[in-house]
């Protein structure tokens, strides 16, 4: 009799793509996929190390599983599982903890354990993780997240990702093209290219014959028939080259939408964060994008309350963001992470101050998005509507990432429609 599996993702688009791939691997092994709220034989939780409450979220989900399916196997994988496997193994109800190198061997490990055994940890030193496994979401939503790069060689002082995912490594352009063609054949209209440090694509390709880079990947993908839209999930400002910006401005398939992490508008704080650019370069990149693509949507990551961030430093960040022609912000409140250099930096910013700064930037983000949307009222743009039906409504995004909400129409699902904003 076939066993059933339910999966849940915490965190980023990269995790979403990997959870989807893990689900397909288990289905190929005979498992029947179920919704996470249903009773299943196996539950898989793919965790994140960036969210502040990784431990609380994980414990809460395990308790939920135990209350509805006490005999089910519980597997924890992902970044948090790599960073703190013993801590996770100590959570009552957890049967298997899989680190970065073992998450895609899940079917094998499930055959090796039984409910009631001591919790098994399958992990290794992150320095030994050097393989790349392509992943993509499929049949989960209209947009597909395709992982083309993993790991990071940067050493930003606040970040645990290199410890959780290892060194930078990538798929080959040929493999990415094959995956894209497969997705195109399945009817996918939009692909979001994802990675830990996407602009570093080309590094760590084992046995590659020629030097590959992200610009070369974009040129290849732009020629593939069947996929109508690509988005670049996030790219470091120092890796977003002028040639990439110019190429996107002339592309019919790569959407006019960039998400560019800034983290701080203060050069002093950027230095303490060990970022690889200064605010002047960031402003230069935004300026070129808006010169070539005035309609382009630009999203920004920013961290508030980093150690040593004074009121003056924050004001510098606020004023810098206010002056930039950007569209929205993803605001993160700094939270301490074990084994990071930032823990040694002083003075520590009080939590209340961090939260207040977060609120101010979220308000600025709302104003920026309102202004960006207003600029395009009355324009006709192409919208890809998503399949979910919310209260008899459906959502879609224009090419430049303006959300459109309309009454549900099944004929528009996964179709690109011309729409007047």
411 CB neighbour count, 10 Å cutoff: 7
Largest CA distance in the chain: 65
Whole-number CA gyration radius for the chain: 22
Residue 193 CA, chain-centre distance (Å), reads 9
- Give 221's pLDDT tier (boundaries 50, 70, 90): very high
Residue 45 CA, chain-centre distance (Å), reads 16
Check: CB of residue 74 under 8 Å from CB of residue 96. Answer: yes
pLDDT cut 90: percent of the chain above it: 72
pLDDT, tens digit, for every residue of 141-165? 568 999 999 999 999 999 988 888 9
Residue 386 lies in a domain: yes
Same domain for 178 and 73, yes or no, is: no
Same domain for 211 and 323, yes or no, is: yes
Same domain for 102 and 205, yes or no, is: no
**φ and ψ at residue 143, rounded to 5 degrees:** -85, 140
Same domain for 203 and 321, yes or no, is: yes
Residue-range definition of the domain harbouring residue 416: 380-420
Same domain for 162 and 39, yes or no, is: no
Query: Nearest Cα to 6, choosing from 57, 53, 65, 51?
Result: 65
Same domain for 292 and 338, yes or no, is: yes
67 CB neighbour count, 10 Å cutoff: 9
Interatomic CA distance for residues 20 and 219, integer angstroms: 27
Angle (CA) 156-161-167 rounded to 5° is 90
In this predicted model, which residue has the larger pLDDT, 237 or 163? 237
Question: Given this model, what pLDDT does residue 54 score?
Answer: 72
pLDDT, tens digit, for every residue of 14-27? 888 999 999 999 99
Ramachandran class of 401: left when φ > 0, alpha when ψ lies in -120 to 50, beta otherwise: left
Same domain for 267 and 406, yes or no, is: no
Q: Please give the mean pLDDT across all residues of the chain.
A: 91
Residue 130 lies in a domain: no
Same domain for 84 and 219, yes or no, is: no
Domain at 222, CATH number: 3.80.30.20
Check: CB of residue 95 under 8 Å from CB of residue 119. Answer: yes
Question: Given this model, what pLDDT does residue 312 score?
Answer: 98
Interatomic CA distance for residues 78 and 100, integer angstroms: 6
The structural domain count of the chain equals: 3
108 CB neighbour count, 10 Å cutoff: 11
- Give 269's pLDDT tier (boundaries 50, 70, 90): very high
pLDDT, tens digit, for every residue of 368-408? 999 999 999 999 999 999 876 768 898 899 999 999 999 99
Question: Given this model, what pLDDT does residue 349 score?
Answer: 97
């Amino acid at each position: 009799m076939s066993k059933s599996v339910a999966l849940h993702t915490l965190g980023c688009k990269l995790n979403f793509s990997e959870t989807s791939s893990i689900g397909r691997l288990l289905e190929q092994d005979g498992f029947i996929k179920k919704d996470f709220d249903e009773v299943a034989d196996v539950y898989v939780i793919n965790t994140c190390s960036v969210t502040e409450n990784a431990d609380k979220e994980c414990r809460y989900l395990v308790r939920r599983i135990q209350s509805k399916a006490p005999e089910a196997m519980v597997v924890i994988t992902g970044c948090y599982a790599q960073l703190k496997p013993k801590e996770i193994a100590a959570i009552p109800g957890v049967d298997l903890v899989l680190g970065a190198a073992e998450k895609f061997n899940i079917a094998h490990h499930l055959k090796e354990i039984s409910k009631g055994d001591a919790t098994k940890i399958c992990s290794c030193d992150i320095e030994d993780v050097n393989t790349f496994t392509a992943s993509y979401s499929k049949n989960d939503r209209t947009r597909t997240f395709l992982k083309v790069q993993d790991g990071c060689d940067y050493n930003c002082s606040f970040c645990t990702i290199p410890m959780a995912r290892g060194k930078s490594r990538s798929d080959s352009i040929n493999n990415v093209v094959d995956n894209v063609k497969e997705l195109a054949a399945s009817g996918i209209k939009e692909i979001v290219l994802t990675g830990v440090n996407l602009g570093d694509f080309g590094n760590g390709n084992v046995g590659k014959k020629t030097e590959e880079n992200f610009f070369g990947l974009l040129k290849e993908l732009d020629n593939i028939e069947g996929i109508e839209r690509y988005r670049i999930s996030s790219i470091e400002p120092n890796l977003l080259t002028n040639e990439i910006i110019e190429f996107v401005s002339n592309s019919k398939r790569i959407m006019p939408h960039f998400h560019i992490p800034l983290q701080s508008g203060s050069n002093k704080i950027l230095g303490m964060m060990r970022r690889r650019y200064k605010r002047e370069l960031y402003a230069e990149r935004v300026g070129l994008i808006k010169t070539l693509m005035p309609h382009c949507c630009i999203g920004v990551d920013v961290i508030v309350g980093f150690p040593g961030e004074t009121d003056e430093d924050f004001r510098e960040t606020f004023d810098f963001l206010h002056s930039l022609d950007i569209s929205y912000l993803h605001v993160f409140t700094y939270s301490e992470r074990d084994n990071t250099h930032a823990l040694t930096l002083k003075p520590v910013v009080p939590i209340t101050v961090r939260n207040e700064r977060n609120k101010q930037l979220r308000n600025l983000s709302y104003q920026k998005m309102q202004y960006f949307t207003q600029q395009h009222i009355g324009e006709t743009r192409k919208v890809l509507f998503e399949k979910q039906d919310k209260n008899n409504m459906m959502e879609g995004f224009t090419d430049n990432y303006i959300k459109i909400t309309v009454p549900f129409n099944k004929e528009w699902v996964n179709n690109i429609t011309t729409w007047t904003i």
